[in-house]
Structure formats: structure tokens, C-alpha cells
Amino acid sequence: MTAIVLGVALAAGPAAAGRPGRPLVGAIRWDAWTGGAVTAQVARTLGPRKYHDRLPWFAEVVDDRRVKIAGGRQAVMDREIAFAAGAGLDYWAFVVYPQASEMSVALTQYLKSDRRERIRFSLILHSTLKARGRAWPAERDRAVALLTERGYQTVAGGRPLVYAFVGRDFPFERFGEFLSAAKKRKLNPYCVYMGWNPAGDFKRVSKQGFDAVSAYAKAGNQRRFSDLAAAVEKDYWANAAASAVPYVPLVTTGWDKRPRKDNPVSWETGHAYHRQDVFPSRATPAEIALHLRRGLAFVREHPRVCQAGTVIIYAWNEYDEGGWLAPTRRPDGKPDTSRLDAVRRVLKAPDPQTKGDTR
């Protein structure tokens, strides 16, 4: 086992953190909580009292039908950095939108924070790849420039870690232009396509410049979170291992889109979940911790498949979709950190494979 542990540590590259041999742990950030039109819509999804226990820790309750969500303050980002770093997370993967978008406020706040060295970051190329017309070259170059920022997460011997998630109709030509621009700056990003079927996805994208595959999330109609987690492990992890494709394991924290079913958002009209009656139960902190432990073990046990030496967690803050690690708002207005507390115990606990090793 020592050789495998050392192999993962080397694969993680010079920016690896945490205990020697522990795979890197990242969490997806979808930052709809900083103000503007999108925030108004997600505030409406979480407005009913029955969803108030999902509210971000910085939200305010107006009454049984209305809430205020104003996460666009630097103090919010600075405290979130402390929450994430305290739990042992290595990096956030920011879903990237155009620089002028309200959805880019959180990334800007992170880059401005004097605490940012406590947690690194990477990109999930998303709306950047769909920038309109003349906006595309500037957005492409902005994304490339972000790869050179201090604290950018690297893997596989120092390569910047880049995820990409757009949907079924992926803009491969744009992605190729992004890669060309990166290479002109002497960068060689490790690119991970987020899809739905590891074996099939890698066959489709490996000749398009992608080094590995993963997933953004997994929808489910199971009644129990434990069954959703088992489906992730079977349909994603086992699929990748059996087909021996380079893979970054997804670790889920849930899937329950009833808030958006009750109060639809404009960008998801007609989606299948609007006709879904059963969603997985809410994950307990212990269930999330167990699933994460298994994800870390999967990376250790499959070093040739998990070449990047990392897992990616869905998600840091997908509150109204049902997947989150970030603190929620307790009835007394204080942050509920129970999920992060459970993650901290996993990531900070002595590793039984290296316990007692003082080299």
C-alpha cells in the first residue's frame, strides 16, 4: 500500500496539501447567492418556510414565504474561506461565467481576499465557452490568465486543473481555442470533462484535448441518500474502473430539486425533475462522511485510473438543488456546520495507512 499512497501524492503535484498521501478534495461552487436576477429567483425557491433549513448561513428570514439572500459582501467570502479551510478542503472549483456577470462576484471576492492562500481554486469552464460573439476572445484569455494566479490548483506534476461542464451540446471548437491559448502561454492544463458515463464520455472526448472525465452531479429518484451514493459509486466509479479510463471521482452530497419544482427558475423550464415525485432523503453528516471516505479509498486503490489524485464534491453551495457542504442557517440565525464538521473528521483524522510512519 505504501507504493500506492506515494503514487497518489506524486500525482497530486507540487500544489498538493493536507496529509501526505491523502488525495486532494475539491468542492464545486455555483455562486447564485451574491445578488441580482439569479439570486432573486433562488431566493424565491427557498422562500417557503419548509425550505428555510436549506438557506445559506448568511440569509435572512423575512416571513414564512420570503427570505433575503445577500452574499455579495467580502466578509461573506472571507468567512467561507475559513469554513472550507477549517474542514480540510484543498480547493474550490468555481463554475465560470463572464466577468461582468453577477455569477462572477464570488470568484472576484475570492481573488481579492487576503485569506485566499488558505484554500486553492480551479475553474469549471461553463458559460465562458458560450460567450457571445466578440466577447469570446476576452473571456477565453481571462480564463487562461486565471490559470496563472497564485493558489491555482495543479495536479499531475504541476498542470493546472481545469474542469469543463456545459451540457450535451459541448462547444469543442471553443474548448480547442482555449487550449491553444493556454499553450501559447506555456501552460499545459489537465482537463477534465464532466459528463454522465465515464467509459462513453472518455471515448468521445479524449481526442478533443481532455485528459480525464468526471461528473458535475448525479440526479436520482431514490428514496434514500445512501442509495443515491451507491448509484454514484456503481454508475460512475465502477464504470471508470472497469473501463480503465482516467477519472476524477464525484462525491455527492444529495439531490432534491423540490424547491425549484415548487417555484421554477427560468433556466430550467421543462426539465425532467418537474415531473419527479420522489427525491433522495437528505444526507446526514455521517452519510456524507462515509461516502467521502469511500471516494478517497477509491483514489488510493485505483492510481492508474485516478491520475489526478483528487475527488470533486457536489457541491459547496447548491442549496436549492439539494447538494451542499457550506453551512446553512439554523433557526437561531447561526451557521449549521455539521456537514463540514463531519468532513473535517474524515480529512484531518490520522490515516491508518500512514499512522506511525515518521519518515
CB 147 within 8 A of CB 162: yes
Taking the C-alpha atoms of residue 306 and residue 160, their distance in angstroms, rounded to an integer, is: 16
The pTM is what? 0.92
Q: Which has more confidence, 13 or 233?
A: 233
The predicted model gives 257-273 an average pLDDT of 96
Question: Is pLDDT above 80 for 20?
Answer: no
Are 153 and 124 in contact by the 8 Å Cβ rule? The answer is no
Residue 103: alpha-carbon gap to chain centroid = 15
Q: Looking at residue 1, what is its pLDDT? A: 27
d(CA 76, CA 140): 28
Fold of 2-42+74-348: TIM Barrel (3.20.20)
Residue range 196-213: mean pLDDT, rounded? 97
Predicted local distance difference test score (pLDDT) of residue 213: 98
Decide: residue 135, CB within 10 A, 0-12 exposed, 13-18 middle, 19+ buried: middle
Measured distance CA(259)–CA(351) in Å, rounded: 39
Which cell goes with 299? 483514489
pLDDT for the residue 19: 53
135-146 helix and 172-184 helix, angle to the nearest 10 degrees: 50
- Specify the DSSP element, H or E, that contains 191: strand 190-194
Cα 175 vs. chain centroid, distance in angstroms? Answer: 20
Q: Which residues pair with 154 in a beta bridge?
A: 160
- The answer to whether 251 and 291 have CB atoms below 8 angstroms apart is yes
| Average pLDDT score, the chain | 92
* Maximum C-alpha span of the chain: 58
Question: Which pLDDT does position 37 carry in this prediction?
Answer: 97
What pLDDT digit, counting tens, does each position of 68-87 carry? 999 999 999 999 999 999 99
- pLDDT(351) > 70: no
Kindly tell me if the per-residue pLDDT of 348 is higher than 90: no
Beta strands at 250-252 and 310-314: parallel, antiparallel or unpaired: parallel
% of the chain exceeding 90 in pLDDT: 89
Tens digits of per-residue pLDDT, 101-117? 999 999 999 999 999 99
The rounded distance, in Å, linking the Cα atoms of 313 and 250 is: 6
Three state DSSP letters for 220-269? CCCCCHHHHHHHHHHHHHHHHHHHCCCECCEEECCCCCHHHHHCCCHHHC
* 262 half-sphere exposure, CB direction, 13 A CA radius: 17
What cell does 331 get? 433557526
Dihedral sign for Cα 175, 176, 179, 184, please: negative
The answer to whether residue 333 scores a pLDDT higher than 60 is yes
| Confidence at 133, pLDDT banded by 50, 70, 90 | confident
